Amino acid sequence: MLIQKSQLNKDTLKGQVVLITGAGGGIGFEAARALTYLGADVIIAEINEDKGLQAQSIINSELNTDRVSLFRVDLADEKQINNLYGFIMDKYGFVDVLFNNATITPMGAVDDVSIADWDKSYSVNLRAPVLLTQRFLPHMKQRNSGVIVFVPSSGAAPYMGAYEIFKTSQVELCNTLSGELENTDIITYSIGPGLVKTETAQKAIETVSSLMGMTLNEFYEINEKHILDAEMAGVGFAVSVVNAKRYKGQEIGSIQALMDANILKREAQTAPSGFLSNDTESLSFHIKNIVDVFNEQYNGWTQRNIFERQWVLRDFKKTVGMAADNFQKLMMSVLDSTNKKCFDNVVENKPQLEKLKEYYIHQHKLLQGYEKNPVELKKNSLTILEWVNELQTVIDMM
């Protein structure tokens, strides 16, 4: 099993009760399997009873346990969600982890997908996670403990609207919930599996690739560098639960979770020839400038009124993919490494610096719309572009 490469103890999640929806097959099954290996009691919530029973039997038999239970449920039916809630509360009394994995994938042009399919997608891909959160969150609040995980998709794409719109809304649901739970020990985050060749995904992508004028194989060939198998994606889901505190309020991917658990090794990133010997002083100078600018911005955000602060922090997280306070810690770590002339950490965080550059470009665009004073507009525009250029200088040196 891939999870064994994590070197996590088999009792890491012992005593934890995990509800994972849509776990009869594919990524959900592999996540349930890995979570059980780590010691959790797992409830598989699945609409297909045959698949669910098979998943329960395989995992319990393979791991010589009885800690996997099946509850057959149609998440589009609120009464059945209430029945699932009642079953769990009667049997366990609480849920430690709610993992919103289930999905349906209606595909097609916006005007071709039936309104019935749009409604069903809303019911399963967005409404069900809200209902499940409403059921289990009050008990998490009573215990001041719990993890709620959302599984969004990557964003708007042609012929995928009836699926993507509600799946990507899970990110905003997670962001909202994260803000509301900020002063608690309840954790919420989003994790995307990446492109995975599951049965559900292949049927959906076959439709999309045809509408795009390519074969299924051509679609996968174009994206072959980004494909994970179901076990890798599912194990990523499972180990993210172990490291949930690390991901609080963030949007991550299975690959990141696998790397953080040392199951996948990060690609070696080496500096260009002459980097360490010739450019360290210049690099240190530019990095210090970047960190100073970001710290000044971050401190300014924290002083704003609550509504402005929340909007800015949400906008930052949406653009960069990381909460501002976590990014600030990362920047201080980069600066500390730079001061110690240890540049491996700098090179490793190049993608984050590129994201910060994207955020400043985003700020520049926003500025053009709301600054009406031409003198201030020019002044502030030049300032932001200087930040962009400073980041580009460091990125080019790597």
What total number of domains does the chain contain?
2
| Type of residue found at 64 | N
Pair of tokens at residue 103: 């999905």
pLDDT in tens, 363-395: 888 888 878 888 888 888 889 988 988 888 888
Listing DSSP states for 221-233 in one string gives: HHTGGGEE-HHHH
**Residue 285 parent element (H or E):** helix 280-302
Q: State the pLDDT at residue 177.
A: 94
Q: Are residues 391 and 319 in the same domain?
A: yes
CATH number at residue 189: 3.40.50.720
Q: Are residues 241 and 283 in the same domain?
A: no
Q: State the pLDDT at residue 271.
A: 44
Q: State the pLDDT at residue 318.
A: 82
Q: Is 89 exposed, middle or buried (0-12, 13-18, 19+ CB in 10 A)?
A: middle
- How far apart are the C-alpha atoms of 392 and 268, rounded to whole Å? 21
Q: State the pLDDT at residue 55.
A: 97
Q: State the pLDDT at residue 266.
A: 54
| Type of residue found at 10 | K
Which pTM does this prediction carry? 0.70
Domain membership of residue 158 (yes or no) is yes
Q: State the pLDDT at residue 61.
A: 97
The residue segments making up the domain with residue 32 are: 2-260
Q: Are residues 185 and 94 in the same domain?
A: yes
Q: Are residues 314 and 211 in the same domain?
A: no
Domain boundary residue, one of 200, 225, 260: 260
Report, as ranges of residue numbers, the positions in the chain whose pLDDT lies below 50. 267-278
Domain boundary residue, one of 260, 290, 324: 260
Q: State the pLDDT at residue 198.
A: 64
Q: State the pLDDT at residue 269.
A: 41
Q: State the pLDDT at residue 199.
A: 66
- How far apart are the C-alpha atoms of 80 and 219, rounded to whole Å? 37
Q: Are residues 300 and 252 in the same domain?
A: no
Q: State the pLDDT at residue 244.
A: 95
| Type of residue found at 36 | T
Q: Are residues 24 and 105 in the same domain?
A: yes
- How far apart are the C-alpha atoms of 347 and 34, rounded to whole Å? 32
pLDDT in tens, 139-178: 999 999 999 999 998 666 778 889 889 998 998 999 899 9
Q: Are residues 41 and 13 in the same domain?
A: yes
Domain membership of residue 9 (yes or no) is yes
